[in-house]
Amino acid sequence: MKVIVTTQEELKEIINDAVERTFKQLMPKAIRMAKEKEWLTTDEVMKRLSCSRRHIQYLRDNRRITFHQEGRTIRYHIDDINDFMKKNRIDVWEQ
């Protein structure tokens, strides 16, 4: 078993480097998520998916996307739309 002995200053530097790297990796996503709305309208989903209103209705009718409806108002949770995009992703073949 190997034992590594460091000074207090070296340990602080190692911890600071790890925290800084983690912060740089996670911060852009956190900022993007903070700027996004939690609930989207049909028009916003149409723009995000680049498709027509009729296609969004088709996806709802066939239970391909999750939605919430109160009366005539339909809303889509941003996480559900992102999950839909991830599930339907097609990877490129490498040659």
Question: What's the pLDDT tens digit per position in 4-58?
Answer: 778 889 889 989 998 898 888 888 777 777 777 889 999 999 999 999 999 999 9
How many independent structural domains does the chain possess?
1
Q: Is residue 6 part of a domain?
A: no
Mean pLDDT of 80-86: 93
Mean pLDDT of 87-92: 85
Domain housing 78: 39-87
Which is higher by pLDDT, 68 or 33? 68
Q: In the 3-class helix/strand/coil scheme, how is the chain assigned residue by residue?
A: CCCCCCCHHHHHHHHHHHHHHHHHHHHHHHHHHHHCCCEECHHHHHHHHCCCHHHHHHHHHCCCCCCEEECCEEEEEHHHHHHHHHHCCCCCCCC
Distance between CA atoms of residues 41 and 27, nearest Å: 27
Q: Is residue 33 part of a domain?
A: no
Q: Is residue 8 part of a domain?
A: no
Return the structure tokens found at 70. 């109160």
